[in-house]
């Protein structure tokens, strides 16, 4: 990083010594004008002068950086640049092939899911297409089992209630006799 900064400063100083002198002259002239007309400048005027100076320096630095990059690119061997570009193209093709394989797997998975949904939809259509007698027979079968289950549960509840009453009453009587 320090080498890049040194190169930047060297490039800035080598190629634009006259520009630097011009900028210093402009800055000194501006300072003289500000000193002469300071009673006409408010704080806002000073801020604008500072902003313009910063913009001027940033513009010069950017143009110097662009020239430096162009110079670095012109110094690169054309064969090396071509090799770098070919490597980049090969890398892009490799990534494209990888993405194509992933897309193919996704497409296959989606096709399998679609086939499964179509089969389930056909099954649902078959169930809907059952005639009225089959549907009534299924309903009677389900209701018959449900009614039988309800009756059995009710009978079990009464049996447990009766057992509880039959067992708890004698135990209560024995406890009352034993405890004075």
Give the position of tokens 């899911």: 113
Looking at per-residue pLDDT, the higher value among 37 and 87 belongs to 87
Residue 17 φ then ψ, to 5° = -65, -35
Helix or strand (DSSP H, E) at 111: helix 78-128
User: Tokens representing 13?
Assistant: 């100083």
34 contacts 41 by C-beta, under 8 angstroms: yes
- Distance in angstroms (rounded) separating the CA atoms of residues 118 and 107: 16
User: With 70 as the cut, is the pLDDT of residue 97 above it?
Assistant: yes
34 contacts 46 by C-beta, under 8 angstroms: yes
Q: Of 71, 26, 69, nearest to 49 (Cα)?
A: 26
Least confident of 5-14, 81-90, 101-110: 5-14
- Distance in angstroms (rounded) separating the CA atoms of residues 178 and 173: 9
16 contacts 57 by C-beta, under 8 angstroms: no
Torsion over CA: 128, 131, 133, 138 (sign): negative
pLDDT, tens digit, 9 for 90 and up, residues 133-142? 677 777 777 7
pLDDT, tens digit, 9 for 90 and up, residues 98-139? 999 999 999 999 999 989 998 888 888 777 776 666 777 777
Looking at per-residue pLDDT, the higher value among 108 and 2 belongs to 108
User: Tokens representing 176?
Assistant: 């009352």
Helix or strand (DSSP H, E) at 51: helix 43-75
Least confident of 23-27, 37-41, 151-155: 37-41
- Distance in angstroms (rounded) separating the CA atoms of residues 153 and 157: 6
Q: Note the pTM of the prediction, 2 decimals.
A: 0.31
60 contacts 23 by C-beta, under 8 angstroms: yes
């Amino acid at each position: 990083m320090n080498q890049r900064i040194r190169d930047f400063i060297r490039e800035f100083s080598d190629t634009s010594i006259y520009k630097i002198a011009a900028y210093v002259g402009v800055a000194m002239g501006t300072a003289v004008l500000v000193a002469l007309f300071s009673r006409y400048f408010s704080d806002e005027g000073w801020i604008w002068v500072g902003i313009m100076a910063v913009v001027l320096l940033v513009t010069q630095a950017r143009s110097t950086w662009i020239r430096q990059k162009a110079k670095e690119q012109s110094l690169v061997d054309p064969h090396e640049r071509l090799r770098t570009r070919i490597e980049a193209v090969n890398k892009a093709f490799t990534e494209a092939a990888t993405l194509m394989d992933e897309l193919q797997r996704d497409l296959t998975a989606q096709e399998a899911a679609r086939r499964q949904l179509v089969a389930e939809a056909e099954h649902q259509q078959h169930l809907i297409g059952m005639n009225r007698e089959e549907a009534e027979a299924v309903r009677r079968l389900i209701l018959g089992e449900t009614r039988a289950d309800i009756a059995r549960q009710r009978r079990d509840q009464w049996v447990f209630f009766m057992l509880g009453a039959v067992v708890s009453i004698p135990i209560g009587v024995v406890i009352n006799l034993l405890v004075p």
